[in-house]
Structure 1
Amino acid sequence: MDDTTSAGLSAGPRRPNARGQGERLREEIISAAVQMLGDLADDEALSLRAVARAVSISPTSVYLYFPDRDALVAAAMQRCHAEMLQAADDAEDAQQDPALGLRARILAQAAWVQEHPGIYKVMHESKVGMPFKEAAFTRTTAAVQRCMDAGVASPGDAATVALDLRTAVIGMLSLRINEPDLPWPPFPEQADRFLSKLVGLAPLAGETTVSQAK
């Protein structure tokens, strides 16, 4: 990987961290990696040397916090995934109706992806293990279960339904990034079809909120 990846991120010589600021340096390394991964949209193109130069430290210093590139990629993706999950949680929490809450969760995730397409590609196309992504599935399952408990979704196994829904949403978001020239409908409309066909939510509720989301 050419170190020119870090262009625009490099700074002058770095002053040594004061005692007890090791965690701050670790976060700075992750921040640099996040920015590069977002630009590259490919974790295999990431250079630890370029990351080190962006933070104005020696490559050896990076290894004090991350044993290899995969470890740094995983840490960067974990931070990004947590941000996406928080956005989805906040959107759902703002709704009292469980059906609208589930819909808001999906739309918030899509909005985050639109702002971070390169990161999303790495998150779902990298070979690096990311067990933290299970949290998104767990919370979607809980949201589906709330819809079932309220009688606004078809009864069934919430985990199975959530897995189908997650597969559809992730696949659709990835395709929109990788094949942007296809005649994609507005995402809220497609999300409503997923919610109707996979979860069993009433189409009318989705159609009503689509106009509000535009």
Structure 2
Amino acid sequence: MSSSDSSPPPGPPKGRGRNPRGQGERLRGEILEATLRLLNELGDDEALSMRAVSREVGIAATSVYIHFADKDELVVAALERCHNDLIRDLDQAEASAVDPVGRLRARLHFLGTWVHANGGLYKVLHESDLNKRMHLAFKEELNSRSREAVQRCMDAGLAPPDDAAAVALDLRAAVHGAVSLRVNSPGNEFPPLEDQIDRFLVKLVGVTLPA
């Protein structure tokens, strides 16, 4: 577990009553949203503190510990919420296209847009010490969705038959490399990410894109 914060403070003062029905869950949601905002600003889970989160929400630090035992638990819960929201938005982006290639393309283009707006969260999700120390099992869903999207292109005859898992891994590696360069070297000049993603789709998946 994280060692950057001191041990949790004692529980809430005597006389504190129970939260009204639903209020505790609302407060937990506000804590997670505040954590995501701060992580996106910092781009580093090690720089986050429980006290900073409590200040962002406008509550006592003890109230954060009521919901989360330590910082690692808080950050993992926040990242899982972020990931689930991203999955939902990617599915909505896919739904706007009419065929498997269009859906895969829309998915990747939206991901590029999301990373541009949430570079700090991207770094914590994929490049942070927490990501290396802990197995974030929820991330596997994003990988499986990518594999399924590639497989649909192959099943529809819109991409050459191949090992969809291997092709999806190559595609993910290429896209992550492209977005990571932009997040970590913002002062450099790069071609439009949409154009680069389209080249990955043509070269790695073997699809044909409309002119």
Bin the TM-score by the shorter chain: 0.7 to 0.9
> Separation in 1 of the partners of 2:84 and 2:125?
12
Match of 2:73 in 1: 71
Tell me, yes or no, if the aligned pair for 2:178 and 2:193 is still in contact at 8 Å.
Answer: no
Query: What TM-score, normalized by structure 2, do the two folds share?
Result: 0.85
Match of 2:9 in 1: none
**Aligned twin of 1:41:** 43
Query: Structure 1 stretches (4+) deviating beyond 6 angstroms?
Result: none
TM-score (norm 1): 0.84
Q: How far apart are 1:18 and its partner, in Å?
A: 2.3
Deviation for aligned residue 1:17: 4.1
- Residues 115-141 of structure 1, C-alpha deviation per residue, up to 9 Å, x if partnerless? 111111111112323221111111111
The percentage of counterpart residues that share the same residue type is: 53
Distance 2:202 2:69 in 1: 46
Cα distance in 2, alignment partners of residues 56 and 184 from structure 1: 40
Output the CA distance in 1 between the equivalents of 2:176 and 2:82: 16
- Unaligned runs of at least 5 residues, structure 2: 5-17
Distance 2:102 2:162 in 1: 19
Contact kept? 1:38, 1:117, Cα under 8 Å? yes
- Give, in angstroms, the shift of residue 61 of structure 1: 2.0
Q: Does 1:162 align with 2:164?
A: no
**Where do 1:93-172 residues align within 5 Å?**
93-128=95-130, 129=134, 130-172=136-178
1:72-114 per-residue CA deviation (whole Å, 9 max, x = no partner) reads: 1111111212222222111111112111111110001111111
After TM superposition, give the deviation of residue 150 of structure 1 in Å. 0.8
Aligned residues: 193
Corresponding position of 1:11:
none
Q: 2:200 aligns with which of 186, 194, 198?
A: 194
The letter for the 2-side match of 1:132 is F
Q: Which residue of 1 aligns with 2:180?
A: 174
Residue 90 of structure 1 aligns to a residue whose secondary structure is helix
